[in-house]
Amino acid sequence: MSIPRLIRISLLLLTLGSSQAHAFDLLEAWQAARTQDPAFASARAAANAGRTKSLQADALTSPQLTLNAGTAGVSNDNKITDARFSNAQFAGGASSNKGTTDFRTKTDAGLDLNLNLRAEYPLYDALRAGSVKQLNKQAALAEVQLAAESQQLMLRVAQAYFDVLLAKDTLATLKAQQLAVAEALASAKARFAEGDVAIIDTHETQARFDLLASQVLEAESNLQLMREALGDATGNRDAALAALSNNTDFQRYVSGDMQSWISRAQSNHPQVYIQQLQQEIAQAETGKFKDRYSPVLNLVAQAGGERLQGLGNGDADLTNRQISLGVQLTVPLYTGGMRDARYQEAIALEQQALSQTDLARQSAVRDARSAWMAVTVGQGQVKALEQALRSAEIKLDSTKLGRDVGDRTTLDVLNSEQELHNTRLALSRSRYQVLQALLNLSAAAGELDEMRLQEINEVLAK
């Protein structure tokens, strides 16, 4: 079997692999990545942990119930002197005329049993209220971080998807060039055998063919690497991908001017929202230590008792029971400077969070501006390359005609064919870059979701 025929078969297989009845499109790749990608699985677990913060906040505003119980072996000696009674008949003894007496209870070896149930409900606590606010903000932060990770996963999957498509286009381009060179090489050898051309045509064509053979091997290796990268995210390494349509109107997927996108990015960019929540958490920390004295007022109910049971002869037994309901006020008068130090720390951290919010907003503006420029410039490049492709096709036809009449050489034809294929590959690359830029622009504005991904997916031909 001849080399040109082998190359044709290889090109046919590559084409068939891109046009199966059902191709693995971009939306399906994203949906698969949501369950397969380990980085997103980690983000989802972090979000599940963050959601419990709201439950913790609810717990801080709920009554707290505590049960304490214990037992211990004890020796006890209690002595009360000059106990005075309002009724003198209970005094007795030598000092009964004074209405006083002495008491003594002694247990040399005994068992102390105690049981206490305490219920506490916060009425006012600045520290607790600040912690409640922080926990609720942290729960909201977890959701925003998951949304940001979701956007990043969409961008990573799309980039990996387009990398595979570009690698396939590159391989197809090199194989098409290889086919053209192989045919030219066979023609050059035949014409040299007939004495029509010099041997240099054969040598130059052979050198071009050998170079393309090495480039094809490199392109095949690169395609395999790109497939593995996409497979790591989606779990699908072998499916044929949906290809990009040649006639795509990119303008329909972007509306408004650059300033409108920048404005939306300043307020809706995921990192800006994340930093705003971090700033509010820091502000709540400052509020917890702002007051010099921060009293704590709790409603407290207690029920319990204690029994001291003597185990030896003559040992006394003592039983005590208590039920109480009231309020308890705690005022930290002096904490060794801890409270003021915590307040100064909170102020510094709040200022840090404010600066980081400004930094995130600046970064969002850069992202939006960069993506907008990539979209607008990319669309211009696509139009220019489409025109260049038409010109390259005309040039190739003219060069072939010149060769047939003796004005052009075989090498001139090969150069024209290489220019045509390179232009076609550059056009494909520009189209993929515009699609990625559209997704980046939506992400910068905080608007990249499954619906937006579906819109981009529609330009891929099944």
Query: How far is it, in rounded angstroms, from Cα 192 to Cα 199?
Result: 6
pLDDT of 440 reads 96
- Between CA 59 and CA 69, with CA 64 as vertex, the angle to 5 degrees is 140
Query: How far is it, in rounded angstroms, from Cα 347 to Cα 286?
Result: 6
pLDDT of 458 reads 86
Query: How far is it, in rounded angstroms, from Cα 146 to Cα 30?
Result: 15
Phi, psi of 308 (to 5 degrees): -105, 110
Residues 6+ apart with CB under 8 A from 432: 162, 165, 166, 244
Is the four-CA dihedral 13, 19, 22, 27 of positive or negative sign?
Answer: positive
pLDDT of 94 reads 45
> Hey, what are 170's tokens?
């590159």
Q: Do the strands 460-461 and 64-84 form a parallel or antiparallel pair, or are they unpaired?
A: unpaired
Chain length of the chain: 462
Residue 194: CB atoms within 10 A of its CB come to: 8
Query: How far is it, in rounded angstroms, from Cα 236 to Cα 253?
Result: 28
pLDDT of 95 reads 47
Residues 6+ apart with CB under 8 A from 313: none
**Quick one: three-class SS letters along 75-94?**
EEEEEEEEEECCCHHHCCCC
Query: How far is it, in rounded angstroms, from Cα 198 to Cα 192?
Result: 6
Q: Which amino acid is at 437?
A: A
Residues 6+ apart with CB under 8 A from 392: 416, 419, 420, 423, 424
pLDDT of 23 reads 79
Is residue 368 within 8 A of residue 441, CB to CB? The reply is yes
One pLDDT digit (tens) per residue for the chain, 462 residues: 555 555 555 555 555 454 444 678 999 999 999 999 999 999 999 999 999 999 999 999 999 999 999 988 777 677 777 767 665 555 554 444 456 776 677 676 778 889 999 999 999 999 999 999 999 999 999 999 999 999 999 999 999 999 999 999 999 999 998 988 888 788 777 766 766 666 777 788 888 889 999 999 999 999 999 999 999 999 888 888 988 877 777 777 788 889 999 999 999 999 999 999 999 999 999 999 888 788 999 999 999 988 877 766 656 677 889 999 999 999 988 888 888 999 999 999 999 999 999 999 999 999 999 999 999 999 999 999 999 999 999 999 999 898 878 788 778 888 899 999 999 999 999 999 999 999 999 999 999 999 999 988 988 865
Write out the CATH class of domain 3-63+125-295+336-461. mainly alpha
pLDDT of 5 reads 56
- Between CA 247 and CA 259, with CA 253 as vertex, the angle to 5 degrees is 135
Q: Do the strands 460-461 and 243-244 form a parallel or antiparallel pair, or are they unpaired?
A: antiparallel
> Hey, what are 294's tokens?
């921060």
**Quick one: three-class SS letters along the chain?**
CCHHHHHHHHHHHHHHCCCCCCCECHHHHHHHHHHHCHHHHHHHHHHHHHHHHHHHHHHHCCCEEEEEEEEEEEEEEEEEEEEECCCHHHCCCCCHHHCEEEEEEEEEEEEEEEEEEEEEEEEEEHHHHHHHHHHHHHHHHHHHHHHHHHHHHHHHHHHHHHHHHHHHHHHHHHHHHHHHHHHHHHHHHHHHHHCCCCHHHHHHHHHHHHHHHHHHHHHHHHHHHHHHHHHHHHCCCCCCECEECCCCCHHHHCCCCHHHHHHHHHHHCHHHHHHHHHHHHHHHHHHHCCCCCCCEEEEEEEEEEEEEEECCCCCCCEEEEEEEEEEEEECCCCCCCHHHHHHHHHHHHHHHHHHHHHHHHHHHHHHHHHHHHHHHHHHHHHHHHHHHHHHHHHHHHHHHHHHHHCCCCHHHHHHHHHHHHHHHHHHHHHHHHHHHHHHHHHHHCCCCCHHHHHHHHCCEEC
pLDDT of 168 reads 95
Please return the burial class of 406, using the count of CB atoms within 10 Å of its CB with bins 0-12, 13-18 and 19+.
exposed
pLDDT of 300 reads 94
CA torsion angle for 329, 333, 334, 338 (degrees, to 10)?
Answer: 60
Per the rule left: phi > 0, alpha: psi between -120 and 50, beta: everything else, 92 is left
pLDDT of 4 reads 59
